[in-house]
Structure 1
Amino acid sequence: MIVLVNPAFEASQFEALYRVANRQQHRCYVAPMFMSITSATDDATGIAFPAGRFLNTLFERPTSSDAQATAIKQTPGHDDGYITHRLHGPAQDASAAHSAVCDGWTSGDKLLGMTNDELARAVTNNKRLEVAQSQAFIAGLNAQRPAPSTWQRKFCGGATLDVEAKDGVVNAQTLVWNVKADSSIIDGHGDVMNPALLDFVRQMFGDTDLPDGPDHGRSACDEQ
């Protein structure tokens, strides 16, 4: 899985990858191969970048549509035409959000204050809970027939991921994700070490290494 955070390139360069990925239909959940995450409050890519591109593209003319005119000025994370998912942070009462989703899970900011055996136990427990949470989501998703056109996923820590619809058309199983995250996950351009972001990315990486077996609901899905 390739992960970009607050990428600063024009959405027109992302378009081909986005469209090719959307042509592929998967009956079962597959972890994304490419995931771009952009903060909703990132002014560097949301304001400064398009301002600079406006000057650079004064003499450029889009060849097809208004959408392309926007895509040559905006980054993928700030061009709504290419957003595939919306990521929201936990509720105000973080401890309640943690226990509601993964009872006994330890957030990344608390892990930073632990050492030695305490840290090892917490990390091991987190991995167990995260695997169980991921397996439950994937099994539930794969068991639905026909495959759902949209879904919502909750992660340990309280983060919530929603699939974004585009003109009523959704490919919820695409391998290329373009995620817009609110400020509780990543606030601005430089907040790349936010524990909430790291917790989310770690759990997504975990999808690529989940043990095979019936907990995925994969065999039933493949038989359909």
Structure 2
Amino acid sequence: MIKNTTTILGKSSIRFFLVFTVFFIINGCAQKGAYRTDFTPCTFNQSDDCAQSAIQHHAPDQAAEYRLGFVEFDDQGQLHQRKQMEAVLDNYYPIAAKDDVLLILFIHGWHHDARPGDNNIQEFRKLLEKIARIENASANLNNHTPRKILGLYVGWRGESIEVPVLKETTFWERKNTAHEVGLQGVTELLLRLEEIVNVKTGMETIVPKPRNSRFIVIGHSFGGAVLYTALQQVMADRFVDSRPNKIFSDDAKGFGDLVVLMNPAFEAMRFATLYDISQQSCRHYFPSQLPRMAVLTSEKDYATRYAFPIGRFFSTIFETHTTLKRHHCTASGPKEIFIDEGEADRNTIGHFEPYLTHELVPATTKQLRGSDFSYRQLQNTWSKQTHEGTLHFEDVDLIHLGNTQPLNPYLNIYVDGKLIPDHNKIWGDSVISFIRDLIVLSSLPVK
């Protein structure tokens, strides 16, 4: 009798534990719906403003003026509300039809979303404000009208469980979701946003002026996976159109004007095609060639350096891999290298040494800039890169590793841990200064 009672109590305890666990997990799940459900434009002055607004306007008619829109996707890569995207685009189109614009998009990574107060949103706001101030200063210096700064924050469910400790186990589940989001609706959004930077030129049918509107896209962590998945084929197609031996040759094209991936969490094998076509015949690039994609990975990003390959080992254990014969483009000509597909499939793009092109380190001597600093001069310096040369920026030095032709538009940069101390701390002043310079470098108006 005692035994039966004990058994019953034991089974009851197990049931209670299971019910409690399920209840705990369900209540610990991150929100599944959209956060930005108000499509009426809202003026943003301080952190508590416009909490549910998908369209925000900061500091109207001031040097720090920018607009910020939100578009959100679900776990299947579908728009939470198509009206949300349409509202943002409808707000931006008339601006871009009238004025030149600088459109900057950001896709967040793991543990983030579009909820009010997310620190990625706060840091993105700071970046937009810095760019706005630079744009105004440059316009005053060069006597032209400053472009309107349009920001777009792409939200997806980077956090599926909010329970402490337990949420750290969602790395692989969220990685799969990131690729799903990239494969689905994000490409449509990106291509429609790209139309915005061309709308003004398209309307100038009599005497079209040079296109001075620009489009920059940034992805962090799994946001980098979302972005690269959405654009990989687009970038390959556009690069091929610029190859030598066709009817005409031109600067290599990419998507928009610059793609920036920060501590991206996807395997190097996905980059193989772009790397190969950019190295084909060790082609030379024109002095006017600007960067089309910059990948920045910290040496201290242990999530992608150690955890990622461990997980990929188990998920690729039954796949077959071979060794590829490829080459680096050194100063003395092509140098044969061998790519281990297994290693490329297990390691992230930023931790796969054969594909690295540059190192980013703290500047040996900081470059002091006055109010009259010319970004045009920075562009001229960029055009004179050499194998294994060093470019000096404000707070950092960019060192060419000698594996690619100078001015190759795809930069895969290994970043000193002092600049980016871990996977998530990407917003340090020195790195943001460098990103800002890349953005300005890639978006200077035509003279």
Length-normalised TM-score, structure 1? 0.70
Distance 1:210 1:14, change over 3 A: same
Q: Which residue of 1 aligns with 2:313?
A: 54
Q: Which residue of 1 aligns with 2:400?
A: 163
Q: How does 1:35-46 map to 2 (within 5 A)?
A: 35-46=294-305
**Any conservation in 1 of the 2:419–2:428 contact (CA below 8 Å)?**
yes
Cα offsets for 1:45-91 (capped at 9, x unmatched): 00000010011111112033462121010001000010011000134
Q: How does 1:6-45 map to 2 (within 5 A)?
A: 6-23=263-280, 24-45=283-304
Q: Which residue of 2 aligns with 1:154?
A: 392
Q: Which piece of structure 1 moves more, 37-46 or 55-64?
A: 55-64
**Any conservation in 1 of the 2:322–2:340 contact (CA below 8 Å)?**
no
Q: How does 1:35-184 map to 2 (within 5 A)?
A: 35-65=294-324, 67-91=340-364, 97-98=365-366, 101-104=367-370, 125=371, 128-129=372-373, 131=375, 133-138=377-382, 141=384, 148-157=386-395, 159-166=396-403, 170-184=404-418
Q: Which piece of structure 1 moves more, 148-157 or 196-205?
A: 148-157
1:2 and 1:135 map into 2 onto residues whose CA distance is 17
Distance 1:195 1:206, change over 3 A: same
* Higher RCO structure (Cα 8 Å, ≥6 apart): 1
Moved over 4 A (4+): none
Distance 1:188 1:152, change over 3 A: same
SS at match of 1:70: helix
SS at match of 1:129: coil
Q: Which residue of 2 aligns with 1:199?
A: 433
SS at match of 1:27: coil
1:29 and 1:67 map into 2 onto residues whose CA distance is 34
**Any conservation in 2 of the 1:8–1:45 contact (CA below 8 Å)?**
yes
1:161 and 1:61 map into 2 onto residues whose CA distance is 37
Q: Which residue of 2 aligns with 1:107?
A: none
Distance 1:15 1:57, change over 3 A: same
**Any conservation in 2 of the 1:184–1:196 contact (CA below 8 Å)?**
no
**Any conservation in 2 of the 1:87–1:160 contact (CA below 8 Å)?**
yes
1:9: how far off? 0.6
Q: Which residue of 2 aligns with 1:3?
A: 260
The residue type equivalent to 2:276 in the other structure is R
1:211: how far off? 5.1
1:172: how far off? 1.3
The residue type equivalent to 1:8 in the other structure is A
The residue type equivalent to 2:297 in the other structure is T
2:259 and 2:376 map into 1 onto residues whose CA distance is 23
1:61 and 1:192 map into 2 onto residues whose CA distance is 35
1:135 and 1:4 map into 2 onto residues whose CA distance is 21
SS at match of 2:435: helix
2:341 and 2:359 map into 1 onto residues whose CA distance is 22
2:277 and 2:444 map into 1 onto residues whose CA distance is 26
**Any conservation in 2 of the 1:46–1:75 contact (CA below 8 Å)?**
yes
**Any conservation in 2 of the 1:85–1:161 contact (CA below 8 Å)?**
yes
Distance 1:29 1:162, change over 3 A: farther
SS at match of 2:411: strand
Compute the RMSD of aligned alpha carbons.
Answer: 2.1
Distance 1:134 1:172, change over 3 A: same
Cα offsets for 1:164-213 (capped at 9, x unmatched): 123xxx31111111111001221110111111110000001111133556
The residue type equivalent to 2:260 in the other structure is V
Distance 1:130 1:52, change over 3 A: farther
Q: Give 5+ residue unaligned stretches, structure 2.
A: 1-257, 325-338
1:29 and 1:82 map into 2 onto residues whose CA distance is 24
Number of paired residues? Answer: 174
The residue type equivalent to 1:172 in the other structure is P
Over alpha carbons, which structure has the higher Rg?
2
SS at match of 1:3: strand
Q: Which residue of 2 aligns with 1:113?
A: none
2:309 and 2:355 map into 1 onto residues whose CA distance is 16
1:27: how far off? 3.0
1:11: how far off? 0.4
Compare the two structures and name the one with the higher strand fraction: 2
SS at match of 2:405: coil
The residue type equivalent to 2:351 in the other structure is H
How many percent of aligned residue pairs carry the same amino acid? Answer: 28
SS at match of 2:398: strand
1:9 and 1:171 map into 2 onto residues whose CA distance is 25
**Any conservation in 1 of the 2:355–2:412 contact (CA below 8 Å)?**
yes
